[in-house]
Copies of this chain bind each other. A is one copy, B any other.
């Protein structure tokens, strides 16, 4: 089984980290292909960047030359999953939804803890559309961005741990979904500080994608996610067009 794991931003090192994380829980026969979009922001931290990422991810997937069995969109609180579902016949799993869905099997209420405050409404909205907010205790942010995470990791981790503790103590979360990745020590520290299960979206998504394939199930095509109707679409895919432009030179 081959699963494409799509980073939503253009930072290749993040893509690599996501791929490694995915492989840690993949079944023996599963091949994880991590992909970086060809355009967009080096980190997605808002609606504009997320919408651009949505198109960049779809662009990357439709240009992928080999067959595959499932797609994981590896961005927290990002747009675009519905578009992929229309374009593809294989299952598509969003990591925000995968994490929440998994958390609900583990505790009465769950929280999401992320970095930037401005990501909170995006995550809330994605969970609202996914129908996964009834048992959502809170979405909390540390207030520190990705840059701080790199320049002063210790302080950044402490801020995340602090919000996780508040989620458990004040908001009564019994499970924490980490809405920010790339740090092995983070998961450990949050678990130690709170005593609750910690769900990583990418890893949860891998098991769900594998499960859907194993069950022989894929996206329903009767209505919302039917393949696009045949029509004139100008300038799509974005990168093939650029490539052609380049070739023509």
Contact = CB atoms under 8 A, between A and B. Distances in A.
A108 B46 contact: no
A10 interface: yes
Interface residues of A, number: 97
Contacts of A83: 47-48, 50-52
A229 B45 contact: yes
Nearest to A39: B235
A238 B245 CA distance: 13
Interface string A101-114: 11011111100000
Contact of A222 (B51, B133, B196, B245): B196
Nearest to A87: B48
Interface stretch (A153-161, A178-186, A209-217): A209-217
Contacts of A117: 223
Contacts of A145: 229
Which of A204, A214, A215, A219 is the most central at the interface, judged by chain B CB atoms within 10 Å of its CB?
A215
B107 A219 contact: yes
A220 to B, nearest CB: 4
